[in-house]
């Protein structure tokens, strides 16, 4: 995929109506009060929005929230987002009552330079997730240009993420530009050695990533629940640990492939295991492959922590996707925390691939020490797999 895409700075936006796809899929309070519990995604969109407004564009922002499946679900309305965005910008945000209906159309037609409006949840339209050309055409008809800044949604070919680009000149905002530069740069021309740390629960969800990274990484580190499938594949005892028995042959193939390619593949040498999946479970440290029956591995052990932290010390670039253990339980967060601390102390370019790893780094207080924390979990994963991202492929090349 070509990572060299035109940005808002490569086109003249003055006096133009700009359809801006944001990722305002923010977490809301469970009590239906309409309170946003974390406005990080709204704040992330501000540089692009402010730039467009300062340049005299009229901004028609849009986003999805949750999975209303084409129905109007009042608790998934973007009205609270409009209010919060208005507070952050210090100016009114006009809220449309629909996505491409009469209210959205009339408000968009009346929108002046330097003003911003927000369309209702794009997934209130059944055609959004089907990338319906009619919906894409209606969205596009309101604007002169399309700017994509929702990296968390670019791996989906939806009407508002990819379809509209068939009808409007399409460029990236600053958020997507940074993702393409940092992650794209690490994949196409990394500062070496390139160390990839992969964790999380399942080998099956990381297959594509491991395969792609075996072609470009110098060292691959495996942690989290997926490590037990590798351990079992090599004849180890994993007790009641997470195990994908169907993927054991695959795990062995990866070990073999790494050896053939001269890629260092590091697996845990010891494990913190527990007698139950609980924050206060009884725990012990055992050698990898020696987990007793009835016990389950919930974190990497101290020897493994040392091995992994040493491996990133002299790295040029580190990509990290997936925690080392059940970091939500403080007793089993030590591995994840140690890796985060090691990354915060290295001189390497450090890239955190969204999702749980981003949550862990933020929760543990190391976020400001990382070069880049991706704003898209699924998108950054598919990016690292080398897959084409529909919401990026549709943008104009430089």
Query: Per the structure block, which two tokens stand in for 293?
Result: 């029956």
Cβ neighbours, 10 Å, residue 207: 15
Q: Which of 185, 208, 378, 386 is catalytic?
A: 378
Measure CA of the first residue to CA of the last residue in the chain; give whole Å: 13
Question: For 166, which DSSP code?
Answer: G
> In the β-sheet with 270-274, what is the strand arrangement from edge to edge?
283-287, 270-274, 296-300
User: 45-49 long-range CB contacts below 8 Å, 24 or more apart?
Assistant: 45/20, 45/149, 45/173, 45/175, 46/88, 46/89, 47/173, 47/174, 47/175, 48/8, 48/20, 48/147, 48/149, 48/173, 48/174, 48/175, 49/20, 49/22, 49/85, 49/89, 49/116
- Between strands 145-148 and 170-172, the pairing is parallel
- CB-CB contact of 205 with 190 (8 Å): no
223 carries an active-site annotation: no
Distance CA 106, CA 136 (A): 17
**Whole-number Cα distances in Å, 276 to 122, 269, 272, 283, 331:** 42, 21, 12, 9, 13
202 carries an active-site annotation: yes
Q: Which of 199, 224, 239, 355 is catalytic?
A: 355
Q: Which of 6, 79, 202, 237 is catalytic?
A: 202
Q: Which of 5, 16, 21, 41 is catalytic?
A: 41
Distance CA 224, CA 325 (A): 5
138 carries an active-site annotation: no
Catalytic positions are 41, 202, 355, 378
């Amino acid at each position: 995929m070509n990572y060299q895409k035109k940005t808002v700075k490569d086109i003249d936006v003055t006096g133009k109506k700009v359809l801006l796809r944001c990722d305002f899929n923010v977490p809301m309070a469970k009590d239906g009060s309409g309170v946003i519990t974390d406005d990080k995604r709204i704040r992330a969109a501000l540089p692009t929005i402010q730039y467009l407004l300062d340049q005299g564009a009229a901004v028609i922002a849009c986003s999805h929230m949750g999975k209303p499946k084409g129905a109007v679900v009042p608790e998934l309305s973007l009205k609270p987002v409009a209010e919060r965005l208005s507070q952050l910008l210090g100016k009114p945000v006009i809220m449309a009552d629909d996505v491409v209906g009469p209210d959205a159309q009339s408000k968009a037609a009346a929108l002046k330079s330097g003003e911003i409006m927000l369309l209702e949840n794009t997934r209130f339209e059944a055609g959004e997730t089907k990338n319906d050309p009619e919906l894409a055409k209606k969205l596009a008809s309101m604007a002169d240009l399309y700017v994509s800044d929702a990296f968390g949604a670019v791996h989906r070919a939806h009407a508002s993420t990819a379809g509209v680009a068939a009808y409007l000149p399409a460029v990236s905002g600053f958020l997507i530009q940074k993702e393409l530069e940092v992650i794209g740069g690490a994949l196409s021309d990394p500062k070496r050695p390139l160390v990839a740390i992969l964790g999380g629960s399942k080998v099956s969800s990381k297959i594509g990533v491991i395969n792609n990274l075996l072609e470009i990484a110098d060292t691959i580190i495996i942690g989290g629940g997926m490590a037990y499938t590798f351990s079992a594949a090599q004849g180890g005892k994993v007790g009641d640990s997470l195990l994908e028995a169907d993927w054991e042959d695959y795990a062995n193939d990866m070990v073999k492939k790494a050896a053939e390619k001269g890629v260092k593949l590091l697996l845990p040498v010891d494990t913190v295991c527990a007698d139950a999946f609980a924050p206060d479970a009884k725990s012990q440290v055992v050698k990898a492959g020696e987990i007793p029956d009835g016990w389950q591995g919930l974190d990497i052990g101290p020897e493994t922590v040392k091995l992994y932290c040493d491996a990133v010390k002299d790295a040029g670039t580190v990509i990290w996707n997936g925690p080392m253990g059940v970091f939500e339980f403080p007793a089993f967060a030590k591995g994840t925390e140690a890796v985060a601390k090691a990354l915060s102390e290295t001189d390497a370019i450090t890239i955190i691939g969204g999702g749980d790893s981003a949550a862990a780094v933020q929760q543990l207080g190391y976020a400001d020490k990382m070069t880049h924390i991706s704003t898209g979990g699924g998108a950054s994963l598919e990016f690292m797999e080398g897959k084409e991202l529909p919401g990026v492929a549709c943008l104009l090349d430089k």
